[in-house]
Structure 1
């Protein structure tokens, strides 16, 4: 039995920095319809070929006027034309006004819009209206290019596209967008104890067996991150089976993500299997839950290069948290996005945490109506109900206790699950 001292565990921040240093963004791009680009990442800057809006237009239903004609309230002007959106009016002459509607081009000569509520017909003068206000310069006029100027970069490479971004791209006349291809991820679980829901009824479960919950939330998280997922199922707890699964996955994927088998037990075969096919660069993190985390690279058998490998812990909460804290930023960087950390809030703890752990802890909590944080009573790494109940975690530094009322760092799950 070895008596050599164990190397100290790597901090989460150091592990994330070392992990991201090995991740280069994907470069392969494809063109997709703007309608189908939600959640994709831009492969290049989008430079506007036009002004948005393309012309000065009215932001109100009302009247286009020359301010020189309205130097005091109560002036009446003759309505000489009607301009609806999609139509162009004639130049406005002195003493004239134009009935205009939202989005319609402002006629030449007009320098303000008066809302229709601030004008009323003059009964004794047909086609005339009287104005109750003196308009300000440029009032209710949307100027050409006030949203986007011609030649301006409207959206940047590495920007994730959502509803607002797609609307903006459409306003530039773009029916198709250049996007990076999706990351290809191979997912599998290890463990002879794992059973898939639906394969065995609860009353027929063999002793020692459990349902594979990790496979379900990891697949969902990967899809939410915009990945193409190949689900390779459950791999038996054997070295040869693990090696075979890694070989198959490496050839056609950017990332291999496994769950379970990355601890130090005799039945944990992932570490030696990865080392036999490539290298293991990170092993065990000073965080709780989530200590048994592994990162490495697996050589491809039929093509050049390597596939990234990430081994997550088997305990469900550990697997869930290490995905959010380590795999999520990895995938963001792989897609050319900033590998941003969750934004934290300082909120009061409405609980006590009297026993500090050496490792950095992530305590499942929920905001309460009083503006504080309640603690889920069971913080075990196997209690998945804690994640369902919680709406975020307290990021508690190693060696620190928490007293009721103390301000703590809280980050909501919504930061990572949008």
Structure 2
């Protein structure tokens, strides 16, 4: 194949979007309401407890009442949302499930307008709550921040995004059974894998509405953590060896999603910085994105920068003048609004973008200080208007510059010894897919 060296645009990679894209994303940002988020959290708290093993039949208290209310709220947002309970049964596990229990995820599906585009983007959180004793299903467990904040975010995202059309589908999910062992997310991840879902991204939100660090006394509502795996959990031994050989330990699709979110925040959300954490989750802890990673999907966790353990996994009480318990009064709803905007804009940008390029490769047939890349157009969904080749030095955490081209091959005056590369598909309006890093090809 003859390579054409094309330098259409070289600029700082902080601009994924063009001017008209910025206007669309600004409208979405303005639609997100801190007051709506507060009202949702307060309503969730009003159910007393949302423990997985709590009452499922009562009208006012327990997990059953909470999920029925969430179901109706989803339905009220738009007739286009297809709302359902994703029910499944969990057998006793000898740990946190003492008896057989039926669990239900609450799901709202926003179908894409392109019937040939099978991509789906998930925004998720967990509905269940807990107090000090993870097995106490009757005591008050308000769960305002853990994870009422995430649920309110998912529901507000569904309310806002359901007013728009996207070529691919969006799925909003409230999981059950997270505190008892990630049961709801594991069930859905396995279902998605078995049914061959083409998941672009899972944006999982768990504890995203507090800006105060207990013990340290830090107040900071301008940073949010995004956790992403490095070596993919689903990679086999041969793939792991290849990734290490290429120096791609920091280049998983989940890590690319984290970078994408960081760029969205930097470009479009005032006073919010994404802190990319090079771990799959907090130290020795986990979340509902983990089963999706284990099933081979691109998934990250969004979590507040500072955690307040006085108001997390605590019985509601007052001791020595200190008020304990996960209550709305200890939350920062403007901070929750910004984290909601981060999810909304990321999902919209990905959904409006074409599918990622396929079979991205790098020629390694000979030694050279140039780098030759080639790729193929996506087979379904909107056709890309052009492609964006991303470049960064090997020690840089973020993409540093880009080159745009309408070709599907390019020869770059950058050595593969010193730089990393990836390719995105881009729409006419400037919406870009997730980056795809090249694999070596001898031709």
Same fold (TM over 0.5): no
Larger radius of gyration: 1
Greater relative contact order (Cα < 8 A, sep 6+): 2
Q: Which range, TM-score by smaller chain? A: under 0.3
Greater fraction of residues in helix: 2
